[in-house]
Structures are given as structure tokens and as C-alpha cells.
Amino acid sequence: MLSGIKPSGELTLGSYLGAIKNWAERADQYDCYYFMADLHAITVRQKPADLRRRTLEQLAQYIACGLDPERNTLFIQSHVPQHAELGWVVNCYSMFGELSRMTQFKDKSAKNADNINGGLFTYPALMAADILLYQPDYVPVGEDQKQHVELTRAVARRFNGVYGDVFKIPETFVPKVGARIMSLTNPTAKMSKSEDEDAGRIALMDKPEDIMRIFKRAVTDSENSVRFDRENKPGISNLMTIYSAVTGKSYDEITAEFDGKGYGAFKLAVGESVVEMLRPIREESTRLLTDKGYLESVYRAGAEKAGYMANKTLRKVYKKVGFVPR
């Protein structure tokens, strides 16, 4: 199993409930690889010092969220040069038309009209390389990344069609609960880590009082009944998704719990549950960040293990396409 997150913004409640929490539960069943996608992050402009800091913070947060480095391979994408190398090869097997259809490319170019660079366009080819290098069975991603995994499958099949079985065709793995946590101020849009001024975002490192303030202001509706209806009640439904993911309660149980209690009480309960869930994660991340030597030992060991796997695939690919072996 393999997945990654770009260190282009603070990890959010959505990153945790939608991704990392589920990853952490898989370590028993799968050989798991998770990385900080720093190569992907520079497809939009980053301040170098911020990128460096966030990459290490993200590693500390992965660990604090339960990804035990003894049982998961945690690494920084740029430390394993095979990503960039296979990325080039995959580029040569990805069609301009396919890449042009990627909705994330269209969204990002609209948002970064002054910097529509080649990397933004070929991003999915690099992502396909990230995946194919490790021959994973499953790639856990959010809804917004499914299209990229589809492309990965298409390119892998195309390549295998020409050269024989080189790549395993990976499956997308979208978790059922918490798959999509939406913004608390704009509940029809995903809770984003990169949007600078998203007032509806909870970062993993936010202080309890800030978390409570954001929940109290969460956008709801005027019906005043806590029931799940994504279409007509996106705000309440999002809060129910969060509460359900944190407490394990079903939507019916939540509806019963807040019957006749009003939205104010519901928002407080959701906020408090999130504060308590994130408290140990924040404390442990803060502690780990003071231990730079430990973090370094983790990302070094991770890159070594990942590099070994990645190199096996890359050598095979280089041979198949006709490069002279070194």
C-alpha cells in the first residue's frame, strides 16, 4: 500500500480523518509506504524555508497520528531519486490529451493563472511513477485523486501492453467513513490544506480555543434538525461525518442524541470531540519536532528502504525501454 501528501500546507482534520487515520490502521495487513510529496509541492510556488519546515512537520505528524516508523516506511519523495527518473519515463507514455483532461490540472491552472508550468501539467505522470515504483496493490486516496489513479492504471496497462508485465495495476482505495471532510465555512468544497485563507479549516496543530471558535461558526442551515442529507444540508451532514468519524457513532445515533437540542449544542459537541482527539496528536508532534535527530533517522531509514524497492522497478523499466545498463 502506498500514498503521499504534498507538504504544501498544514495537515488538516480532513487529512487525518480522510487519510492518515485509515493508513495507520492498515499496518498489520499491508507493507505500507507513505511519503511527503515535496516534488509535487513545487508545482505551485513555495517559500523554501516553509517547504522545508512543513516537510519535517508532516513527518512528525504522520508519526504522531499513529504511523509507527517501525511498521511503515516513511520517506521524503525527493530523497528517492527514482521518482523523478521513472517520472520522466511515464511522461513519455502519458498522452497530452489524457493529461489535459485532468480536473485537478484545470482547477490549479485557474487558480495559478500566472504560473501554469509544465510540472503542473505533468503532475499526474509523476504521481503515476510514485505509485508504480512500489508495485502496490492499493493506493488510498481521496475522491479528488481518483482520476490520477485511473490515469496511472491506464498508463501501466499501456506500458505492460508493449513490454510485458512490468507494472502491477493498482486499485484505488477510498475509505468509507470520513472519505471527504468539507470546509466548515463552505461545506460543498473539500477542507483544503493549501487554501491560505480558508476559515473553515482545522489544522492538526490548531489550539483548542481556535478549534472551538471555528466549529461555533460552522455554516449550517435554518431547519434546526440534525439529520444526514448531503444534498440539502451539506453543513450539518459534514459535521455529522466528522462526529461519526471521531466517536464511531452512526448517523442515526447522532440524530437521536441531538433530537430537540439545537445546532448550538451539536456544534459544541463536535468541536469538543475534535479537540480531545487532536490533543495528543498536537502534543506528540510538538515533542517529536524538538528531536531532529530522531526525525532524521526515520527519514533516512525510510529513503533507504523505499529506494531499494524503487530501484528494482526502475532497473526493469530502463532495461525494457532499451537503455544500456550502467
Which residue(s) pair with 140 in the sheet? 173
Which residue in the set 36, 131, 205, 269 belongs to the binding site for ligand TRP (CB under 6 A)? 131
C-beta separation of 94 from 88 below 8 A? no
Of 4-12, 92-100, 205-213, 306-314, the segment contacting ligand TRP by CB under 6 A is 4-12
* Interaction of residue 4 with ligand TRP, rule CB under 6 A: yes
Specify the 3-state DSSP secondary structure of 5. Answer: strand
In whole angstroms, what is the distance from residue 139 CA to residue 284 CA? 27
CB of 152 to ligand TRP, least distance (A): 8
In whole angstroms, what is the distance from residue 138 CA to residue 170 CA? 6
CB of 38 to ligand TRP, least distance (A): 10
Residue type, 161: G
Residue type, 317: V
Q: Which is nearer to ligand TRP, 37 or 155 (CB)?
A: 37
End-to-end C-alpha distance for the chain, whole angstroms? 30
* Interaction of residue 130 with ligand TRP, rule CB under 6 A: yes
Could you say which residues in the range 142-161 bind ligand TRP, by CB under 6 A?
A: 145
Among 6, 21, 106, 108, the active-site one is: 108
From residue 32 to residue 61, the character string flagging contacts with ligand TRP as x (rule: CB under 6 A) and all else as - is -----x--x---------------------
Q: Kindly report the CA angle at 129 between 60 and 108, in degrees rounded to 5?
A: 75
Q: Which is nearer to ligand TRP, 56 or 126 (CB)?
A: 126
* Interaction of residue 175 with ligand TRP, rule CB under 6 A: no
Among 6, 21, 193, 233, the active-site one is: 193
Nearest to 39 by CA among 72, 2, 93, 83: 83
In whole angstroms, what is the distance from residue 60 CA to residue 35 CA? 12
Asked about 193 being catalytic, the answer comes back as: yes
By CB under 6 A, the count of residues binding ligand TRP is: 13
* Interaction of residue 141 with ligand TRP, rule CB under 6 A: yes
In whole angstroms, what is the distance from residue 192 CA to residue 146 CA? 17
Beta strands at 72-76 and 2-5: parallel, antiparallel or unpaired:
unpaired
Of 2-10, 113-121, 225-233, 262-270, the segment contacting ligand TRP by CB under 6 A is 2-10
Task: List contacts with ligand TRP (CB under 6 A).
Answer: 2-6, 37, 40, 127, 130-131, 139, 141, 145
Annotated catalytic sites, by residue?
108, 190, 193
